[in-house]
Amino acid sequence: MDGKLDQIDHRILGILRENADLPNKVLADQAGLSPSACLRRVKHLKKIGAIQRIVAVVDPDCIERCLTVVVTVKFERHGPQRRKKFFDQLKKEKAVAQCYMVAGEFGSVLILNVVDMDDYTQIADRLFHADDNVAAFTSHMVMSTLK
């Protein structure tokens, strides 16, 4: 990302993080800008990569994937080719809502939205058991979402 962000840019980003579906006029009012100035700034924030994409956070129940699982994954080896293979496989899975490559004890943290435990077991077999570079993984079933 190139370009420094000023206080107004940060204000716009904060508002959009809470509700990216606001009409430009409402966003402009909340940011203290004219609608045209606000639209210019949002376009600029997209251009420089400060806004990477706008997505809908969908309730997993509405797409019949009511079980959320947080999975931490340890790898045997961490070379770029090995990670690429794993991450390419993740892109094919509808259940993968988020994936982070992380530093520390684990190499990756995944957020999965699955139909049920049987669905999760099948996904775990495909993603973790079948990949010889996955040394271990730990599953955490989400009980409730707080934020």
* Pair 33, 72 in one domain: no
Q: Are residues 23 and 82 in the same domain?
A: no
Residue of higher predicted confidence among 81 and 48:
48
- List, edge to edge, every strand of the sheet that includes 134-141: 96-101, 108-114, 67-75, 134-141
Structure tokens at 27: 């966003």
End-to-end alpha-carbon separation of the chain, Å?
27
Question: What pLDDT, on the 0 to 100 scale, is given for residue 14?
Answer: 92
Is 73 a member of any domain?
yes
Instruction: Assess whether 22 and 73 both reside in one domain.
Output: no
Cα 58 to Cα 109: distance, rounded to the nearest angstrom: 20
Q: What pLDDT is attached to residue 3? A: 64
For residues 43 and 64, membership in a common domain is answered with no
Extract the tokens encoding 94.
């509808």
Domain hosting 89: range is: 60-141
- CATH for 114: 3.30.70.920
Average pLDDT, the chain: 90
Q: Is the confidence at residue 13, as pLDDT, over 70?
A: yes
Has residue 117 got a pLDDT over 60? yes
Look at residue 1 and tell me whether its pLDDT is greater than 60: no
Q: How many domains does the chain have?
A: 2
Residue 92 lies in a domain: yes
In the chain, where does DSSP find H-type helix?
7-18, 24-31, 35-47, 80-91, 117-124
Give the pLDDT confidence of 37-58 residue by residue, as tens digits.
Answer: 999 999 999 999 999 988 887 7
pTM for this predicted structure: 0.70
Burial of 52 (0-12, 13-18, 19+ CB in 10 A): exposed
Between 1 and 8, name the one with better pLDDT.
8
Residue 18 lies in a domain: yes
Question: Which run of H or of E encompasses 127?
Answer: none
Whether residue 82 sits in one domain with residue 39:
no
Query: Is residue 81 located within the same domain as residue 22?
Result: no
Residue 54 belongs to a domain? no
